[in-house]
Every structure is written in C-alpha cells, then in structure tokens.
Amino acid sequence: MTAITIIGAGNMTRGIATRALAGGHAVQILARDESSAGTLASELTGTVTAGSLSTAVTGDIVVLALPYDAALAVAEQLRDGLTGKVVVDISNPVDFATFDRLVTPDDSSAAQELQKVIPASKVVKGFNTVFAGTLVAGAVDGHKLDVALAADDAEAKDAVAALVESSGMRAIDAGPLKRAHQLEGVGFLHMAIQGQLGNTWSTAVKIVGA
Amino acid sequence: MTAITIIGAGNMTRGIATRALAGGHAVQILARDESSAGTLASELTGTVTAGSLSTAVTGDIVVLALPYDAALAVAEQLRDGLTGKVVVDISNPVDFATFDRLVTPDDSSAAQELQKVIPASKVVKGFNTVFAGTLVAGAVDGHKLDVALAADDAEAKDAVAALVESSGMRAIDAGPLKRAHQLEGVGFLHMAIQGQLGNTWSTAVKIVGA
C-alpha cells in the first residue's frame, strides 16, 4: 500500500484516484477549494481523505493533477512540504487559445520547468498521455492503459511504475526527465486528433504487439 | 490506382511497397544501387518496377524511405524531378550515436528541414511511427496499423491518406507540417522503448477506443 496525495479536484484526480483506490492504495485529495476535494472524496470508494492546500501532505507520491500554470504555482507554494518527495507532473502545456503549440520553451517541457521550481523534489512525468475517463473506466477496448513515465531519479520512477502496475495499468519507461518533451508531444497530439475521432475523449494511446 | 515511387531499397521500402501493392497501387523502387532496388522489386508481388536515382520518377507520390541525412541529400539531388510532387518524409532524425536526442533544431523537424530543401514539392510527414516489419505483416495483434500524417498542403495530405486507407491502414490527420516535430518525438519514443518490450520491433503505436 502506497500513500498518494493528489492535488486538484478535477477529472484527472478522479481518474487517478479511482485506479489507485482500486489498487488498494491510500489517497489524500487536496485542493484550493477544500469542499470540492471533499465532494470528490465522498464519491470514491476506499481509503480516501480530503483537505485544502494548507493540509499537511501525507503521500509519499504527490500527483499535481492541475493545468500547467497552476501546477507551477502550487508547487512553488508547497515547495517545503514537497521536499524529498516524488512529485508527478501530468500536465500538457498546450496553448489552449490556439491549440497549435506548447507554451514551454522549445528545448524544455512542463516537467523540466516544474523540476526547476522544486529542485529538492523528484519529478516524474506521467499520466499526461492518458485521458481521465479512461482512467475511471480502467481499460479501453479490453486493453490495459499504458502509462508512460520519464524521470531522472530511478527510484522515484520505479515507485511510480509500481503504483501504476499495482493499479492495473502498464508502466512504460520512456527514459530521463527530458523525454517529457516527447511525451508532452504525444499528449498534445492525442488531444489534437480528438475531433476526427468523434470527440469522445475515450481513446487511449497504446503500444500493441507487446 | 495511384503511382508511387519509393526511394531507397531497405526495410521500410519493403514494408510500404508491400502494403501499397496489396492495395493495388503501382510501385516504382529507385535506389542509388540499382541492383538492390531490382532485387527487392523481384521479391514483391504486383505492379512493381525498379531503377536507379537517374531513372525518371513516375510516381505522383514519392516516398523517401531513407535515413534523415540521406533523405536531405537525395532530395537535393532529385529536386527538379520532385517539383510539384507529393513527397513523403518517413525519417526519424535520431542521434544514433547516443540515442538520447534528435539531431534536428529544437524548433523544427526532419520534415520541415526537408521542405526547405525542396520548396516546390509538397512534403507530407508519415509512416515514421510505424515499423517496417509491421507494414509487411499488415496488422499487429489484429489491429490495423495507424499511420499519422502531417502536412501543410491539404490536397497532398488527402492523397497520402487515401493511399494509406486503400492499402489497409488507418490514416490519422496529425495537423500541419510542423506537427512533424511531435510525430518524430513519437517515432523516437517508440524506438527508444523497444529494449524493455523485448526488442522485437514488432510493436505498433495505436489509438484504441475509436
């Protein structure tokens, strides 16, 4: 059993919490608006608590389930509480005004920018290629979900991979943290093609044949 | 029936030619070493011819099935013959010495660099996320192959999409040519994770659920 803190009370928190709770893990949901964290927690089944951004972070793995800008701001706010912890960045830093570019520098990624804000934490990129609804469902067309991870700290990446696998998904090791640049490209593409796929947002990027 | 020219006589030529011939298209294979083009053509079934780089390009769609550096060099050499044609770039500009980066500028892609070399041709990015062996096989685990395409010329992209679909694969419109940056990231990642998947190079990146 791993203790996980998820920050944010949106659809991705619901998705990741659903899978983690199904895997028997303990989930703490923290949000700026404590009542939305509480409402979400009350809708989930398992060992789940809720709190605000002032609540002490109890998870060994902390997932920032927030848009890119908010993730940076919250990381800065909670920096001390995140020291030494594994912090998972799930964001896709898409320019939502144009949907035609990423807002991060060409030679970087959201995960690398986040790591600069919390240098004493171990940032792992993950879950950005997976949609919330498919996490709640737990599978797509009979396929386990693939969750690609990138990190520089091997132990941190292993911890998140173990969480992913014990929660019924397949972890794929995408390499060092800078591979987040490519993973965020995958997330961007996956979002950008939804229109032609019927806008169900219920698809998954899957490696088949292995 | 579409006339296709494929330049190069390697595994990707074998794969793309196999699918195109199965779809009833006419394939011309050209290579610096004419005898390897001829040998490959003799191993395929359908309307297939072979020639050297001096042979007149007969295809309306020209696929550069070459490594990135060679694709640029051949495009420059054949520039006049490629004028007005749809030219498909399938390359993944990976730094094969380190396997840790792409050799293209951070704000560009192989396809965009190729377009600069042949400005009077219509470059389409495609097939770079698909492995040669899976093209020969035609399917992976019962799934049609997904072939993602990126281009600025809508007519050119439609022509390649029609070729892809009539050859038994699914075309995915990834957007404008600059999306090749993200597609080449997908190709790079797909190659980089082969070790942990058993090094069979028989996997496919697939959008499931749609």
Tens digit of each residue's pLDDT (9 = 90 or more) over B11-59 = 999 999 999 999 999 999 999 999 999 999 999 999 999 999 999 999 9
8 Å CB contact of A192 and B179:
yes
User: Does B170 contact chain A (CB < 8 Å)?
Assistant: no
Q: How many residues does chain A have?
A: 210
Chain A CB contacts of B140 under 8 Å are 208-209
Nearest CA in chain B to A137: B209
Q: Which two tokens stand for residue B210?
A: 């749609």
Structural domains in chain A plus CATH codes:
3-197 (3.40.50.720)
Per-residue pLDDT, B105: 98
- Type of residue numbered B111: A
Query: CA A151, CA A52: separation in Å to the nearest integer?
Result: 28
Residue B152 to chain A, least CA–CA distance (Å): 13
Say which of A134, A176, A181 has its CB closest to residue B185: A181
Nearest CA in chain A to B207: A205
Nearest CA in chain B to A193: B174
Residue A99 to chain B, least CA–CA distance (Å): 11
Q: Which two tokens stand for residue B183?
A: 């597609």
Q: Which is nearest to A193 in space by CA: A204, A181, A179, A182?
A: A204
Per-residue pLDDT, A123: 99
User: Does B198 contact chain A (CB < 8 Å)?
Assistant: yes
Tens digit of each residue's pLDDT (9 = 90 or more) over A106-122 = 999 999 999 999 999 99
Per-residue pLDDT, A119: 98
Q: Which two tokens stand for residue B20?
A: 């195109």
B166 near B1, Cβ under 8 Å? no
- The contacts found for A28-31 with CB under 8 angstroms, 24 or more apart, are A28/A3, A28/A4, A28/A55, A28/A57, A28/A58, A28/A59, A29/A5, A30/A5, A30/A6, A30/A55, A30/A57, A31/A7
Say which of A179, A193, A203 has its CB closest to residue B189: A179
User: Does B196 contact chain A (CB < 8 Å)?
Assistant: yes
For CA atoms B189, B194, B197, B202, the dihedral sign is positive
User: Does B14 contact chain A (CB < 8 Å)?
Assistant: no
Query: CA A83, CA B130: separation in Å to the nearest integer?
Result: 41
Tell me how far the alpha carbon of residue B123 is from its chain's centroid. 11
Average pLDDT, chain A: 98
Query: CA A124, CA A174: separation in Å to the nearest integer?
Result: 11
User: Does A179 contact chain B (CB < 8 Å)?
Assistant: yes
Per-residue pLDDT, A77: 98
User: Does B148 contact chain A (CB < 8 Å)?
Assistant: yes
8 Å CB contact of B207 and A204:
yes
Q: Which is nearest to B208 in space by CA: B149, B154, B120, B143?
A: B143
Helix/strand/coil (H/E/C) assignment for every residue in B128-192: CCCCHHHHHHCEECCEECEEEEEECCHHHHHHHHHHHHHCCCEEEEEECHHHHHHHHHHHHHHHH
Say which of A106, A140, A185 has its CB closest to residue B182: A185
Tens digit of each residue's pLDDT (9 = 90 or more) over A129-188 = 999 999 999 999 999 999 999 999 999 999 999 999 999 999 999 999 999 999 999 999
User: Does A189 contact chain B (CB < 8 Å)?
Assistant: yes
Tens digit of each residue's pLDDT (9 = 90 or more) over A33-61 = 999 999 999 999 999 999 999 999 999 99
Residue B88: band (very low, low, confident or very high) from pLDDT cuts 50, 70, 90: very high
Neighbours of B116 (CB within 10 A): 11
Average pLDDT for B125-150:
98
User: Does B141 contact chain A (CB < 8 Å)?
Assistant: yes
